[in-house]
Structure 1
Amino acid sequence: MCKAATAPAGCAQLMTTEAPVVSLEQAQAAALATYGLAGSLKVLNGERDANFLLRGPQGAFVMKFINPAEAPEVTRFQTEALLHIERHGPHLPVPRVLPALEGAYEPVVRVGGQAYTLRTVSYLDGISQNLGTPSVAMMQQLGSTLAQLNLALRGFEHPAAQRYLLWDVGHAERVKPYLGHLAAEQKPLVSALLERYEHEVKPRLATLRAQVIHNDLNPHNVVLDRATGTHVAAIIDFGDALHAPLVNELGTALSYQFDAHAADPLWQIKAFVGAYNAHVPLLPEELAVLGELIAVRMAMAITIAQWRASLYPDNSAYVLRNLNASWNNLRRLAALPVGALTHSLIAACAPEAP
């Protein structure tokens, strides 16, 4: 999450501001007073907000005490995006925003003398994708669900959707100041990818179709059915949503679906993008840059994670949870023949022969 304003200082402030300090007792009191909810609470991990899972007679909900460094207009943008999806894609498995007793979707609560904006959404039970069993069927379902989510968001506009966000693959060059946090073996490859992106890829993005996108479909934001471990039960966490080229959505999502250990490391990517394309046909100019976006998003993840881990060593295990997989995938991707990824993406989206 980052400020809607285009000021890098605002972005840095949010990325470096500690999450709100809220105890279980304080969260319980806020739940009862604000929503009339009672039940057991559990702390959930989060980089920038204080998050709690509440289970009670009225159901299960996630309470998010929002980082005070986040601009109010960005908070409203995220809430309104969820409400827009509820209206235009009611079948989609995404969280539903719970109104407070007085009707507000973003009530302000006081905790220990500090005022926090609170957003509470329905909890969608399951396990994260990284704990499930990968399959072609799962990838197809995930690609199809993301495409339908993008269709539901088509036409949604909000002033704060134009955000300065460090995680925006459309502005990957913004991570350059943090390259010093990379390991020596990582820096040459990451630097080369960023240079090629800035000079050869980014200028082409400005000509592509754009809309509000989820922008963070990593395996921790994909919830699978707990019983089977294969069925997509939910897409969660819209904290990085923004207005951007539509292909950026796939560049981010597919960067987490590369399988470095498989004989065909692109098998998940091909199943995913083919299913997405069946709902939202990708244009030739989008497919031409998608492979580059996948690679540069991997490079961004490696860089940002190590920078943030240096800021918050006590939370480094959470921040670095994807680092090893991201680096292994990036090295394997870079070792593929030139053009192999792009050719595979095009083939996966081609109409089947009769």
Structure 2
Amino acid sequence: MSNAFRDKAFATSIRPVTRDRGVFRASEALDRIARESALAESTGERFPEHRVEAELRRHYDLTGELSRIPTEKDDTYRLATEVGRFLVKIAPVTESAQIVNLQSAVMMHLERTGPAIPIQRLIRGLDGQIESTVVDPGGNARIMRVMTYIEGDLLSSLTPTETQFRQVGSALAALDGALTSFRHPDESRLLVWDLKNFVHMRPLLEMVGDRDNLSMATWIFDQFEAVVAPRLGTLQTQMIHGDFSPFNVVVDPMSDTFVTGVIDFGDVVRSPLVFELAVAVANQIGVNERHPWGNALEIVRGYRAVRPLSDRDVALLAIAGPARLLLRALIVGWRAAIHPHSRDYGLSHAARDWTRLRSALSVATPTIQTLLSATGTQASQTGAE
């Protein structure tokens, strides 16, 4: 694809916005995916800090200063104590105990099998438990967990070098390597962020008011259905982190490995391995307008240096990467409409997604596919974005 969207040459038919008394009507499939992703409207109340403090004393014998961290759906706090800092997470009412346990099980698996991978560790409670049931002010039972706090800078706060971007890819490959053998009864959960379900997100296009954005988004859905969806049954599949974004990667520019921590296992799911890379790619494409795919290509190069992926599969990132970026833009708009309290969190992460999509799609898709395939070689790729 070329500069089509800047020229408005890819205009498509625009479907009218369909709402019932101002409320967006999603498909049944989308409704179910949102519900099982714990993104459906919740009747649960936020946990007030004094109640969290009481539960921490009761279950973990921990006391200290709490500070809330904005998140998508759960109640998350930073806890500063005399013995160090911790992260406290209380799952939303809409998230089942089984799904919370899936997340915990992944972390426990990595603790046993991947000690070199710097992830948060679950803190055991007074009875040796890694999960504690607590009751919010509305009488809803919810799951509390306490984790170690990984100090350092987030990847999102820095401008890495090419070598450092390759190290980000290598760290992701190592993480996925440790997850290869992981199995869990709920591993194939329905998750709105999982690109396996991307085709079911098309109804969200009805919320896109900008004509050019709608044309661009429609093209991405069409390409995904034509190129990626037919390959789903053939792709290498395993448990993946699912949200390897710059906000979940802790780094230290002075460290030889650069990546010093991986956090937030809330989106773990069994899915095609290439979709794991799609998240990392989506968070980098379009960031540099002059070289919209440059950073992403280095991540893929670093990944493939540690974990092999076929050229045919990697080429799918030319569509899957933009699809994942579009997915975030669509879900943020949707969530802002039904959950006003999450508006600031979402918009802070995705305010520029539409602009970045235009930048990423200004490079012809066959060109990107060729560049992606070349990441498996040792040859240096320059001026290719």
Q: Does the TM-score normalized on the shorter chain lie above 0.5?
A: yes
- Number of the residue aligned with 1:295: 322
What TM-score, normalized to structure 1? 0.92
Q: CA deviation at 1:10?
A: 4.4
8 Å CA contact retained: 1:217, 1:252: yes
| Conservation of the 8 A alpha-carbon contact between 2:311 and 2:376 | no
Partner residue of 2:76 out of 47, 51, 56: 51
Which portions of structure 1, spanning 4 or more consecutive aligned residues, are displaced by more than 4 angstroms?
6-10
Deviation by residue 1:296-316 (Cα, 9 ceiling, x = unmatched): 111111111111111123431
Q: Quick one: which of 53, 61, 67 aligns to 1:36? A: 61
User: 1:351 Cα shift?
Assistant: 3.6
Q: 1:259, CA displacement in angstroms?
A: 3.9
CA contact (8 A) 1:166 1:174 kept: no
Counterparts of residues 23-172 of structure 1 (less than 5 Å):
23-112=48-137, 113-172=139-198
Q: What is the rounded CA distance, in whole Å, between the counterparts of 2:83 and 2:167 in structure 1?
A: 30
Q: TM-score, normalised by structure 2?
A: 0.85
Question: 1:285 Cα shift?
Answer: 2.3
User: Pick from 230, 234, 258: which aligns with 1:231?
Assistant: 258
Structure 2 counterpart SS, 1:16: coil
**Counterpart in the other structure of 1:207:** 234
Residue equivalent to 1:17: 41
| Secondary structure in 2 matching 1:219 | coil
The SS at the match of 2:124 is coil
Post-superposition Cα deviations, 1:158-213, rounded to whole Å, max 9, x if no partner, equal: 11110111111122112112112223221111011112212331111210110000
The CA deviation at 1:114 is: 3.0
CA contact (8 A) 2:40 2:94 kept: no
Render the CA deviation track for 1:119-161: whole Å, top value 9, x for unaligned. Answer: 1111112232221122212211111110000000011011111
Q: Size of the alignment, in residue pairs? A: 347
Counterparts of 2:45 and 2:79 in 1: how far apart (Å)?
A: 18
Q: Which protein has the larger Cα radius of gyration, Structure 1 or Structure 2?
A: 2
1:281 paired residue number:
308
* Residue in structure 1 matching 2:279, options 252, 276, 290: 252
CA contact (8 A) 2:336 2:343 kept: yes
Matched position secondary structure for 1:46: coil
Contact 1:126/1:226, CA 8 A, preserved across alignment: no
Instruction: Give the Cα–Cα distance (whole angstroms) in 2 for the partners of residues 188 and 267 of structure 1.
Output: 25
Is the 1:62–1:121 Cα contact (8 Å) retained in structure 2? yes
Letter in 2 for 1:142: V
Identity of matched residues, %: 29
Q: Show structure 2 runs of 5+ residues with no match.
A: 1-27, 381-385
TM-align CA RMSD: 2.0
Partner residue, 2:383 = none
Going from structure 1 to structure 2, the CA distance change for 1:131 and 1:260 (only over 3 Å counts) comes to closer
Equivalent residue number for residue 3 of structure 1: none
Q: Secondary structure at the match of 1:133?
A: coil
What CA distance in whole angstroms lies between the structure 2 residues aligned with 1:17 and 1:259?
A: 32
Q: Secondary structure at the match of 1:339?
A: helix
CA displacement 1:44-89 (0-9 Å, x = unmatched)? 1112111111011222111111112112211111100000011111
**Secondary structure at the counterpart of residue 331 of structure 2:** helix
Any conservation in 2 of the 1:305–1:319 contact (CA below 8 Å)?
yes
Relative contact order (C-alpha < 8 Å, sep 6+): which is higher?
2
How much has 1:352 moved relative to structure 2?
A: 4.1
Check conservation: 1:8, 1:164, Cα contact below 8 A: no
Aligned partner of 1:330 among 357, 376, 383: 357
Amino acid at match of 2:169: G
Q: Which secondary structure does the structure 2 equivalent of 1:64 belong to?
A: strand
Corresponding residue for residue 196 of structure 1: 223
For 2:96 and 2:221, how far apart are their aligned partners in 1? Answer: 29
Instruction: Go from structure 1 to structure 2 and tell me whether the alpha carbon gap of 1:181 and 1:7 turns closer, same or farther (over 3 Å shift).
Output: closer
How far the C-alpha of 1:110 sits from its partner, in A, is 2.6
1:263 matched to which residue of 2?
A: 290
Worse-superposed segment, 72-81 or 259-268? 259-268
Instruction: After TM superposition, give the deviation of residue 335 of structure 1 in Å.
Output: 1.3
Unmatched runs of 5 consecutive residues or more in structure 1: 1-5
* 1:345 alignment partner in structure 2: 372
Code of the aligned partner of 2:81: G
Q: Counterpart in 1 of 2:214?
A: 187
